[in-house]
Structure 1
Amino acid sequence: MVNVNVNEILDGHVALDIQCLDRIYLNGYVPNLQVGGQVVSFMTRHLGYRIPSPAILEKIGTAFRRSVNSFAETNHIPLIRFAKEDRKIDVMRRYMAAQERVGRSGVVAIGVAQEYQNVFASTQREGTNGIPCFGFHKADRRVTCFYFYLWDVDFGPAFIKICAYFPYPIKVWINGHEWAKRQCLREGIGFTALSNGFASCQDPAALQEICDRLGPGTIEVFFQRWLAVLPLPLTDHDADAGYWWELSMRQIEISHTLVFDAPRRARAFFEALVVDNLDLGRPETLELIFGRQIRRGRLRRTQDVFKTKVVTRDTDVTINAFYKHSRIKQYLKDGRALRIETVVNSPDDLGCKRRLEHLPELQTKARDTNARLLDTERVGQGCVLASPAFERVALPTLTAEGKRAPALRFGDPRVMALLGALCVSLTALGFTHRSLRARVTHLLGTGYSANQMSYDLARLRRNGLIDRRPHSNNYILTAEGQRVALFYTKVHNRLLRPLLAADNAPAPAPLRQALATIDRHVNGYIDNARMKNAA
């Protein structure tokens, strides 16, 4: 198989390059119904009941369930009870397709499921006057949930899930690519579709502008428009008093799709990425990709597992690199496009707040994450050093200021451990004397003092491989430093080690036989020259 270089493909064979919000999964919550005291206030001050009893909440829930049944019957909407093993979207797909053919917005079907939700449970105790007192606290309970599957003229397929128990949490699912497709149709921009995205477009710049337009305002309009249509447990009277749903981000997928000019390039290209990036799940590597530090210490220790997982379904491969609650994944889309996708399951992972209004900030940071992954892969396959650059680092030199820059000699165990540590500590937020020393010690396998680390930091700086952030003890790797670290480590680990062990298993038998033949001929020349070791 011909070796494929990522940079050659990306620089010359990408027909369409689009960034877009993909799947958007939101929480709908009532801000002033989140603690027990607010529940009591809702029933007493707002509804006017003297005793805040769970029977009041049950009455509201029963009325809501009846209104859903009535809504379905009046509008001739199928009411489907999901079985435990059902994949909901598969059950609903034919109803979605039928409504799409009609071409009008509508509720296509209502699914009913029993699911665990975080709702209010009650406790009861006897008051001093003999009247029962109730307390309320959040707990996970198995309750009824209604899935309103929608087909929307702006967003296409979507659903809104409403829990039938207090405080009636809502889930909203929409798709950014589907929204963008409908905006293109509305504006007369021609395109061909992927299964979830775009394969080609007459005006890529206009398409990207459309994708950039999707934001909190558009999503909020969609949400409130459908709340005005659906049966709800809260009323207009509740809304006027401030008891209404707001949206926060539950799971957001931000994608970067690169469509190749020839599908035949896609498989070899992606296989090159798989081979070269099986170690993406190292914590320090993920610091680079996500641009966030992973803090470890006695007071606060990150418990999440950082790993890379390669998933294979039939002939399709997906690379997943997990970071805290989130992940970044790469896969082939319909056999012709590379899809890079940051899946944010907790906005906190990227330093963002959860409310929907912070979606633009989250999207910016996630796009940066996608870009850093691609940049890292570019450097990983484009780190060959020309002879002068290699000699400048591998031999002692003088800086422009006339200062001596000590050599970083290739093959020296300490140098290899140092640059190997930089490979796994490529962090946009930098590293410290202490954190880099711990990594070098681990790779070196012997003692490595603080003075040695200080000397090595100095020679890295003199050679232009790292910079020190002003007014801090934090260092960052330069672009040249990244190339040097990857070049040294790749040549040593992926070329020299396998080649030096090529005369032993598991090296292929033909290679071992060829080396044995060469060895015999070399020994023959030594014998003829009478140059054997003295006895």
Structure 2
Amino acid sequence: MEVFLYSQHVLFKDFGAYAEGLSQRIIEHAKHTTSKLGRPYQYLQSSKASKEELAMAIREQDGIKAGLICVFACVEPCQSFDLKRDRVSKHLQLVSKERKCLHLYYYYQDREFGLMHVRLQTWLPFTIQVCLNGREWLARQMDRAGISYTKRDNCFTYISDVPLAQQLMDRLTERHWRRFLDALAQRVNPWIHPRTGLDVHSYYWSVRQGEYATDVMFRSAASLAEIYPRLLRHAMFQFGSEEVMRFLQRRTNQRFAGEVSSDLQRRLEGIRVKHRVEENSIKMYDKQGSVLRIETTINNPRRFKVHRPGICRGQKVMKWLPMRKGIADIRRRVELSRAANARYLDALAVVGLETPSYRLLDRVNRAVKKLGRRYRALRPISREDANLFQAILHGEHSLQGFRNRDLRNTLGHADPKTSSARVSRWLALLRAHKLIYKVCKTNYYRITRKGHQVMATALKFRQPDIALLAT
């Protein structure tokens, strides 16, 4: 902000009057725009009023099909700047301060995104927020592609061609967002227009809170209602801190000093379970009776890494760096969120299996042959095999996989000379039964879908609380 004031030749003592003049120009621009287009400009006495409902009512009343619907003005808290006199130097200082100022809400009926709005702070630094709905965009894209669907509120309960709909949705990741957002900013903020005379750049666009949901559509509400209680119990009893960290791609080591929590909350629509790892979270809930939704929310992207250009020893190289809030990393944000949802659904895959438990375990209770070599039957409920399953399912190993050395450390085998060969034989045994597979050209192993089912079922039978067997 100081650099901007210097460029405009504004002294600190004149900051208040100068900022007031800029704010009045923004408010006058909003009133002129609504008057020119014949749309209402309305001041709201309370910021708690539902602006979306008011905008929808105006849209229906006036039959707005495209363009500006209305502009609402209300006073809300904001982060801005103020002057403070330093007691030692006796000089004025510009400090960041929380205050209240007038905010403008521009509501549009967009041809691509449907009902959307732009929120503009009328006091420096003129912070702007754009709120839009990706599912509204998808609905319009499916209409053009001839895909039939059933939409209830903000949820699709039926889509005739799910793979094609997913391909359409993926286009949002590739969209040139900066061009679209800059055009919106120039509509509402006259000071960033090239003809204003102010030497200012456009906004640095960032994602304040990113939510990515994966919906599982059931054929009927009864089918979801039958299995959903078991999914909730499994999520609360079986997903510990290590599993939750694995979902959100966090490593369980001594460097982690944050907080992990899980909780259940009853809503009007039903019950949702939410797992938090510091500022980020993943949750599960039911929508419209027949849709199971897994949703990852990223509030602090710096907890994750992105492969992007960086400086190393004075040279520009590609390296793994903390993910930014800017829209430049939105593709990576989607990739991480989608992977987190997939891991969560994979972990839930053992719930509600139609195969009886004894049949599932019988598959590994017989000896097998692989490449002419005979491997013994597994004893999934025995103490030795159960300890091995517990070590393999350890959340620390679930992201990258696990190695012989990782299992030795988890099982507490101190002497590598005697224990390495023993663990190698166990790994070969599990590979023969197709519970794990080896990652090509590495020393890492990962669990197969069959492995998740067998090992999770076996461990469940060894739980001390017999009541949990009912889940």
Report the TM-score, using the length of structure 1 for normalisation: 0.69
Match 2:85 to one of 114, 120, 124: 124
1:213 equivalent in structure 2:
171
Map 1:124-523 onto structure 2 (within 5 A): 124-125=85-86, 133-215=91-173, 217=175, 219-236=177-194, 241-279=199-237, 282-297=240-255, 301-304=256-259, 306-314=260-268, 316-351=270-305, 352-380=323-351, 384=357, 385-387=360-362, 389-391=364-366, 410-412=381-383, 416-425=386-395, 427-430=398-401, 450-451=414-415, 454=419, 457-458=423-424, 460-464=426-430, 476-477=446-447, 479=449, 481-493=451-463, 497-498=465-466
Which residue identity is paired with 1:40?
Answer: E
Percent same amino acid at aligned positions? 18
Which residue identity is paired with 1:226?
Answer: L
Q: Distance in 2 between matches of 1:82 and 1:179?
A: 32
Q: Distance in 2 between matches of 1:273 and 1:409?
A: 23
What secondary structure does 2:244 align onto? Answer: helix
Q: Distance in 2 between matches of 1:378 and 1:363?
A: 22
Contact in 2 for aligned 1:123/1:135 (Cα 8 Å): yes
2:42 equivalent in structure 1:
79
What secondary structure does 1:246 align onto? Answer: coil
Q: Deviations over 1:424-444 (max 9, x none)?
A: 42612245889878876xxxx
Q: Distance in 2 between matches of 1:228 and 1:322?
A: 38
Contact in 2 for aligned 1:287/1:294 (Cα 8 Å): yes
Q: Distance in 1 between matches of 2:394 and 2:197?
A: 53
Query: Over aligned residues, Cα RMSD in angstroms?
Result: 4.0
Contact in 2 for aligned 1:159/1:172 (Cα 8 Å): yes
Q: 1:318: Cα distance to partner?
A: 1.7
Contact in 2 for aligned 1:290/1:350 (Cα 8 Å): no
Residues 50 and 336 of structure 1: CA distance in aligned 2, closer, same or farther (over 3 Å): closer
Is structure 2 residue 23 aligned with structure 1 residue 61?
Answer: yes
Residues 497 and 340 of structure 1: CA distance in aligned 2, closer, same or farther (over 3 Å): closer
Q: Distance in 1 between matches of 2:361 and 2:128?
A: 58
Q: Deviations over 1:423-478 (max 9, x none)?
A: 342612245889878876xxxxxxx6634995674554243366787999976545
Contact in 2 for aligned 1:399/1:405 (Cα 8 Å): no
Q: Distance in 2 between matches of 1:108 and 1:475?
A: 58
Which residue identity is paired with 1:302?
Answer: A
Q: Distance in 1 between matches of 2:27 and 2:403?
A: 58
Residues 176 and 320 of structure 1: CA distance in aligned 2, closer, same or farther (over 3 Å): same
Which residue identity is paired with 2:251?
Answer: Q
Higher relative contact order (CA 8 A, sep 6+): 1
Unaligned runs of 5+ in 2: 306-322
Which stretch shows the higher mean deviation, 80-89 or 427-436? 427-436
What secondary structure does 1:390 align onto? Answer: coil
Residues 127 and 230 of structure 1: CA distance in aligned 2, closer, same or farther (over 3 Å): same
Contact in 1 for aligned 2:110/2:116 (Cα 8 Å): yes
Residues 85 and 423 of structure 1: CA distance in aligned 2, closer, same or farther (over 3 Å): same
Residues 423 and 89 of structure 1: CA distance in aligned 2, closer, same or farther (over 3 Å): farther
Contact in 2 for aligned 1:282/1:424 (Cα 8 Å): no
Q: 1:271: Cα distance to partner?
A: 2.4
Q: 1:252: Cα distance to partner?
A: 1.9
Q: Distance in 2 between matches of 1:431 and 1:222?
A: 44
Decide which structure has the larger Cα Rg and report it: 1
What secondary structure does 2:338 align onto? Answer: helix
Which residue identity is paired with 1:461?
Answer: L
Q: 1:103: Cα distance to partner?
A: 0.8
Which residue identity is paired with 1:303?
Answer: G
Q: Distance in 1 between matches of 2:446 and 2:119?
A: 46
Q: Deviations over 1:254-298 (max 9, x none)?
A: 22222222333121132232232224652211233233324533x
Contact in 1 for aligned 2:408/2:419 (Cα 8 Å): no
What secondary structure does 2:81 align onto? Answer: strand
Q: Deviations over 1:287-324 (max 9, x none)?
A: 33233324533xxx4323x2222222246122222233
Residues 256 and 48 of structure 1: CA distance in aligned 2, closer, same or farther (over 3 Å): same
Q: 1:139: Cα distance to partner?
A: 3.6
What secondary structure does 1:261 align onto? Answer: coil
Unaligned runs of 5+ in 1: 1-38, 441-447, 508-535
1:22 equivalent in structure 2:
none
Which residue identity is paired with 2:71?
Answer: A
Contact in 1 for aligned 2:64/2:109 (Cα 8 Å): no
Q: Distance in 2 between matches of 1:320 and 1:87?
A: 26
Q: Distance in 1 between matches of 2:175 and 2:131?
A: 16
Q: Distance in 2 between matches of 1:209 and 1:246?
A: 29
What secondary structure does 2:132 align onto? Answer: strand
What secondary structure does 2:398 align onto? Answer: coil
Q: Distance in 2 between matches of 1:52 and 1:320?
A: 50
Contact in 2 for aligned 1:164/1:233 (Cα 8 Å): no
Contact in 1 for aligned 2:116/2:133 (Cα 8 Å): yes
Q: Distance in 1 between matches of 2:35 and 2:124?
A: 25
Q: Distance in 1 between matches of 2:51 and 2:342?
A: 34
Residues 322 and 362 of structure 1: CA distance in aligned 2, closer, same or farther (over 3 Å): same
Which stretch shows the higher mean deviation, 157-166 or 220-229? 220-229
Q: Deviations over 1:10-44 (max 9, x none)?
A: xxxxxxxxxxxxxxxxxxxxxxxxxxxxx222122
What secondary structure does 1:112 align onto? Answer: strand
Which residue identity is paired with 1:257?
Answer: D
Contact in 1 for aligned 2:273/2:285 (Cα 8 Å): yes
Q: Deviations over 1:487-533 (max 9, x none)?
A: 2211222xx8528x99xxxx9xxxxxxxxxxxxxxxxxxxxxxxxxx
What secondary structure does 2:57 align onto? Answer: helix
What secondary structure does 1:110 align onto? Answer: strand
Q: Deviations over 1:181-236 (max 9, x none)?
A: 12233444433212113233444444233212113635444423322322445443
Report the TM-score, using the length of structure 2 for normalisation: 0.78
What secondary structure does 1:277 align onto? Answer: helix
2:318 equivalent in structure 1:
none
Q: Distance in 2 between matches of 1:189 and 1:400?
A: 49
